[in-house]
Chains A and B, each alone.
Chain A
């Protein structure tokens, strides 16, 4: 089986394909973190006073907190004073069309394979492209406006819809929530805001491409999505990042509010720089994502995590209203020295609440891949139902796959099922494919794709293709 081992090894020694930086003059705050920096950040963004107060409250809380150590990941301590907390491309024109966009930026998009014009016409996706910390171009705004949907950057929302921001920002992830979320609350520079009014089915799949560019800039995104009663929205988030050697911190917060009867589908493809073979460089991805589902509402998280040196991410659903539904579909691929500790929390509070968890972890090289999840059924959550399935696949004998599910049940009418399996690609499966003329590499691709299919099927069309490509890039080798 040496050739198999070789193929697997080649698979696992892929270099990052999307690594490059583009020099753009940036308008930045000095390195470091203190109350003045936060005030300056807030002033730069022209924020109302309530936001500054909120940021400062969060910052003061953050000073009292300690970085969590419970996750199954290992990294050097982060020096928060050596990070630039704000970096915006200097030219910040008011744009109506793409012609006005800095050509260098456009070039970056071209190289990333996301030409905005193409996206506009072909995919029918409104793209709110975040280049570092400030939204540069927003498309399809007019069309969304007609439907009454607000889709803008969070800084814009703070200025133009302060009542909504004031009401919902921090309502799902309070500024005291956890170390990274609190840090984010203090220093978030930009992000996305979506409001879908009552009864409106959002006519487009909303999408934001994130990209980290300026060196040493931690990106602190804040996303707030509110689906009013009986509305529905699908949101897509995807990212790539340039190659470099210093670890970069990304501590985003995503809050979803699904009011009575509303549906939110949140899909992520994450392909940030994972570091080189020795684990040098790479993004630290410490994300807090959580949604609250009111009566009859539904929140669905789908994620394909292939990048980042460290992923620490638990998209969660608080099933507060009766009959609410939570879903979590995840594929996490770790390679070389990547570490992922990811999973979900399903908190059943309302009656007849349902949740589904499907998690697929693939670990290769020297990577560590952990599923960590909680299913909690509170006393009053009669007839709660959960199904969880966590499958792990190991490629190579130096990697690890771990499962840490927590199940807490306080109600006898709950039905909870949890299943987990760990396996490798069977020699018999490979042999079967080989003897039918399929190369080992193709066979591995097929098997991996089949292994993840349940999750990939949940992705919106636009992302399904990209996801397939990502799986291939993450695991494909130079052989064949």
Chain B
């Protein structure tokens, strides 16, 4: 390999290979979107160390390390048992898996469990079946909230996505069981790059809960850049849960983007326990009056892990409310970053926005960087943000210990309570108790 070639990063050289790897049944329409996204991506490039939004998270490794695109052929090598080995019990019967970005289930079985009118499909299927209704939905919404211009994450995902999962909940439909999606990185190829993509349209008055669970089957490191677009209609209710449980050598960047109509209630919840470097980006926009957006996150890290919770909450209309709470517990040499922006546009009077970020450092080598930001152009608003960084309260520890509770138990009790303020926001009982247990397990390492 000449010097010239070795300097071309993998994401430039492998774009040509994409077609054979994802299967050649994609349409020309998708190819045009990909090509446009790839051009945007190459134009934007990877964030540099001086890029303000990436100030505290260094992803140079994406350039220097050789990743290879996921091969559709690999999916069949992962059997059902392996695919489901990471499933958390009792969350939902509506459970499906993507393997290296490809939807692995037969969706027909799941469709039978869905209420009437609810659509669950892949874009590939929609094109194969020439499903005009679904394609129309796709054309109307895909790439509208998460645009590729000036946005490296979306452009990256859009130029390489393996499958697009489309969920459509028609007006008034109530999906009582959560839709539980596991993104499995198989680790069968070396350093695989996967790009899961979801488009979810929930019409007026409908209800849906979505769980995205990121897992790895082996300790082979990989890279994931996922994008999920949520279009939420008037008076609809959507909850989105994200759970990061990858191996210690995995890099992930996830983008959640949403817009919501009037009276809609949208809640995002991110839990991060695994991964080498995880960046959760949540970008909701309130586009209808009297809406509510909740943003919650818990991170428990140890070793050399790095998490970056990056939120941009955009109040563009009046009379909306938002509640944002992120908590982190950092041990070992781990690093926690929180960068939360609240934008209140000129017309968004009577906005009520609360943002809070708290971090506990358990070790003297852990680091926390926090950047809570308010950008406010309307005058009749109530916005507050608070950030705290510290260690466990010695007085509280002493109180517990003086009542005969051992040091370790006392510490865990306090940390559980600390995390509890965020985990209690999880409305799915099975998921909440699983996550609460993960907090405990991770801390008692």
Residues of A within 8 A of B (CB): 70, 379, 392, 394-424
Contacts and interface: CB of A to CB of B under 8 A. Distances in A.
Interface residues of B, number: 37
Interface stretch (B19-27, B215-223, B356-364): B356-364
A402 B344 CA distance: 10
A420 B372 contact: yes
B377 interface: yes
Given A412-B391, A416-B389, A418-B388, A424 B376 contact: no
Nearest to B382: A423
Contact of A412 (B366, B370, B371, B373): B366
Contacts of B346: 397-398
Given A411-B364, A412-B391, A402 B374 contact: yes
Interface in B367-400: 367-391
Given A405-B371, A407-B387, A416-B389, 13 more contacts: A379-B365, A397-B349, A402-B374, A402-B375, A406-B371, A407-B389, A408-B56, A411-B364, A412-B366, A413-B391, A417-B386, A422-B382, A422-B384
A184 B374 CA distance: 32
Contact of A414 (B371, B380, B386, B390): B390
Nearest to A419: B386
Contacts of B387: 405, 407, 416-418
28 contacts: A394-B376, A394-B378, A397-B346, A397-B349, A397-B380, A402-B374, A402-B375, A403-B373, A405-B370, A407-B371, A408-B368, A408-B370, A409-B389, A410-B367, A413-B391, A414-B390, A415-B388, A415-B389, A417-B388, A418-B387, A419-B384, A420-B372, A420-B374, A420-B385, A422-B374, A423-B381, A424-B379, A424-B381
Contact of A416 (B362, B381, B388): B388
A22 B98 CA distance: 77
Contacts of B344: 422
A70 B373 contact: no
A403 B363 contact: no
A405 B380 contact: no
Contact of B386 (A409, A418, A423): A418
A465 B349 CA distance: 35
B390 A416 contact: yes
A401 B369 contact: no
Nearest to A389: B386
Interface in B61-85: none
Contact of B361 (A399, A406, A411, A421): A411
B108 interface: no
A401 B375 CA distance: 6
Contacts of B7: none
B383 A422 contact: yes
Given A405-B371, A405-B372, A415 B377 contact: no
A396 B366 contact: no
A422 B371 CA distance: 17
B373 A404 contact: yes
Q: Which of B363, B366, B374 has the most CB of A within 10 A?
A: B374
A231 B331 CA distance: 42
B90 interface: no
Contacts of B367: 408-410
Contacts of A70: 52
A188 B121 CA distance: 69
B369 A406 contact: yes
Q: Which of A395, A401, A415, A424 has the most CB of B within 10 A?
A: A401
A405 B388 CA distance: 12
- Sorted nearest first, the 8 A-B pairs with minimum C-beta distance are A412-B361, A394-B379, A407-B370, A416-B389, A418-B387, A422-B383, A403-B374, A415-B390
